[in-house]
Chains A and B, each alone.
Chain A
Amino acid sequence: MKKQASVFEQSSLARRPPYFLLGTLIFLLGMIIYIIQIETTHLVEAWHVPILGTIGVLLMLVSVVQRPRIVRIIGLLLFIGLTGTEWYMVLAGSKVRHAPEARPWSPYAGPAKPGEKLPAFTATLADGSSFSNLNLQEGKPTLMVFFLGKS
């Protein structure tokens, strides 16, 4: 009778869906899709990677709850770390991509042309003193860098 119960128990365990394996495959699916995206230069935001990673981790968690074995727990922690890294990278990347300077700039078509002088101007240095186009003619080459600023 005991033997029968044991066989039944083993058979029941064997019939459980392989959540950990399934979770691993779903996690890897996100990575595979991302690699295909890179290879095909289809560069859209890769939200699917952490989303699939999270689904994968949740399935692994189910597996660990059902059968808490040390190897699975270690594996789960590893995949949680990887999924966290994926979220961080996607969120950080998204922030950079949506920064004002991330948009494509149109080519310069203004009056500054190589071989010509700049139009006359007067500006104010941070110390309050004046700076004009005449200051550019004092013998020292100048790199004029126009940047976004704080406002």
Chain B
Amino acid sequence: MVELGQLEAYRSDFDMRGVRVLGFSQDDLPASKTTQEAFPHLQIISDADHKMADALAVNDPGRGPSGHDTNVPTTILVDGTGTVRWVGRPKRFRFKPEELLNEVDQHLAGKGL
């Protein structure tokens, strides 16, 4: 969950662009609540039944740290009308906040901000 800490640290940059950040994991609700408390400026979503992960093809069966299903790190940028503007998946590890801000600037400038 390093990425959440990094995103939390860059919250003012996302706020400045009017972008909210939603974090999706397959943790159950109590675990998601703990995560939410740790990162209060993000919105954490519990996808314990991995319905969203399945629907968006980001589920990685049995590959979580404890052998459970988990998400393949994936980021989707949606504009204010709900239209997808960019979908990204790092080759390894995770995107840096600077990279995500760059994608926001590139794909949302004048398109729903």
Contacts and interface: CB of A to CB of B under 8 A. Distances in A.
Interface of A: 100-119, 121-128, 131, 133-134, 136-151
B47 to A, nearest CB: 6
Contacts of A127: 33, 36
Given A100-B65, A128-B29, A141 B56 contact: no
B19 A146 contact: no
Given A117-B83, A149-B64, A102 B92 contact: yes
Interface of B: 1, 3-4, 7, 14, 17-29, 31-33, 35-36, 43-47, 51-53, 55-58, 63-66, 68, 70-94, 100, 104, 107-108, 112-113
Contact of A115 (B52, B77, B84, B104): B84
B35 to A, nearest CB: 7
Contact of B52 (A114, A121, A128): A121
Contacts of B24: 123, 144-147
Contacts of A124: 29, 45-47
- Top 9 closest pairs, chain A to chain B, by CB: A110-B57, A149-B25, A126-B36, A137-B82, A146-B71, A136-B82, A126-B32, A139-B80, A126-B44
